[in-house]
Structure formats: C-alpha cells, structure tokens
Structure 1
C-alpha cells in the first residue's frame, strides 16, 4: 500500500474528517464513508479502523473540552440547555459514572462526552474509555461489512 499516493491520502483524510465530525455535536455520518472505503478495497481494514478511531476519538475530545468550559456560560441566553436539563444530565452522569463513556460510540453518545467534560472526568479515564468504545465500534462495523460483502 502506497500511502504517498494522493488518492489514498485523500481517502484517509476524508475518512478522518468524517469520523472527527461525526463525534462532535455536528450531524455527520462516518459509517457511510467507512463502509464505502472498505467495500472499495483500496485501503486495508486495519488502516480504516485506526484512522476512523483516531478521528472519532479526537472529535469526542472536542466535546469534552467544550464541556470543561461551557458551565461558565450557563447564564447566557444562547446557552444550549436550561439549568434543569444541565442538572439532570449531571445527576445522570453522577449516578451511572464514567462507564457511560463506553456508550460514546452510539448515536446519542456525543452529549455524554460533553457531560464528561462538565463533570471533570480525568482526561486519562476519558481517553481510555472513549478510545475503547470508538475503536470497538469501527472494528465491529468492519467485521459486519466483511461478513455481508463476502
């Protein structure tokens, strides 16, 4: 595999950006890009999993960082949630704890990563659990796609 080829680099960059965007609060879908590249067969599955996992994890880090700094704006009119919603999310996270970060791969997992920042989850715990969840997601997606395409 020649990773210096512009087409391959473009595919890697596209997958990274799709995975990064999908992990933020923006409405992106990285699965379509991942499966499309896997079916095209121009990149090894392991490379797809690594690139998508790194992009997705770094996108979650953006959410975490937003959560770390967002509370200081809670009294502003434009703040995205009201005080009751924020308190409910904090109670939920306090009750179920850091293990909820293993759900960060799921469609509604992005807000969990924001709340983890608000709740000051240690960065190393956040990174460990989110990386496991995101990598597991892409590994399973790759395996399912391989089974379906034969």
Structure 2
C-alpha cells in the first residue's frame, strides 16, 4: 500500500496538481523501504503523470479558440518556438520543479512521438529520483537496497 501511495503522489506531482513526492519518498527511505522499489514506483508514477500532461497538450488545438481557454495564441506561439529551439531533447528536463510540467504539456502540443516522449521524460525523472534517493540515503545513513517492511 505504501508503494501505491508513493506512485499516486508522484503521479499527482507530475501533473499541474500541487503535490510533493520527494517528501514522501524521503520519509520512506528513512523507514527502511527498498530503495530500488522506491525509485521504480516514484519514477513510474511521475512519468505517467507527465504522459497525462502530454495527452492534455495534444488536445490544446481543439480548445485554444474557446473564450475560457487560459492560454493566448501568443503564449502558445512563444512556447512552440522555445520548444523548437531545443527540440524533444528538452523533455529530459521535465523533472524541473518550475517549468517541467509545462514542458511536458508543450511536448504534447508539439506532438512528440510517444516512444520518444516517454523515454526522454522517464530518463530525466529517473535520474532525479535516483539523486533524491542518494541524497536522503546518504544523509540518513541508509546503504543499498533494503528489504521492504
């Protein structure tokens, strides 16, 4: 159940919802949960949350002319230009706390092929969670994978 909670928190953190999976992840490290499973479920949930952003981004053109739509044509144009400057490789930065969620949304708007989208986002997010796990494990004296409680 704890891993499911981590997965769902990481999922929510990757969407536009306010959630912070690193806090839960850090707590689970100090409680002795298996580091590999923590990394796997956090990365999987966060990557899947970004896929939801990509799906929403692919729907932007359907709604951009509606009065209630929160993004102007000029803002969309600027976002597309910035994305084009660095291309799909910028999805490796989808883990960034500020702008990462928007980047995956723009990746959807730009219709990055799904395989490329998922692989690039998963690499970036996996590296981020590996770094967070390493930091917390070092600070708390945990070493290597441990059995799950």
For normalisation by structure 1, the TM-score amounts to 0.91
> Unaligned regions of 5+ residues in structure 2, if any?
142-149
Per the TM alignment, residue 38 of structure 1 is displaced from its structure 2 partner at its CA by 0.8
What SS does the aligned partner of 2:69 have? coil
Looking at structure 2, the residues matched to 111 and 78 of structure 1 have their Cα atoms a distance apart, in angstroms, of 19
Structure 1 segment 21-36 matched on structure 2, within 5 A: 21-36=12-27
Residue equivalent to 2:84: 94
Of 3, 11, 34, the match for 1:20: 11
Residue equivalent to 1:104: 94
Higher RCO (CA-CA < 8 Å; seq separation 6+): 2
- Please, what is the CA RMSD of the aligned residues? 0.8
Per the TM alignment, residue 115 of structure 1 is displaced from its structure 2 partner at its CA by 0.4
Looking at structure 1, the residues matched to 67 and 117 of structure 2 have their Cα atoms a distance apart, in angstroms, of 30
Question: After the TM superposition, which segments of 4 or more aligned residues of structure 1 sit over 6 Å from their partners?
Answer: none
Per the TM alignment, residue 77 of structure 1 is displaced from its structure 2 partner at its CA by 1.5
Residue deviations 1:66-95 (CA, integer Å, cap 9, x gap): 001121100112212111111100000011
1:83 and 2:70 are equivalent in the alignment: no
1:143 and 2:137 are equivalent in the alignment: no
**Count of residues paired in the alignment:** 140
For normalisation by structure 2, the TM-score amounts to 0.92
Looking at structure 2, the residues matched to 138 and 98 of structure 1 have their Cα atoms a distance apart, in angstroms, of 21
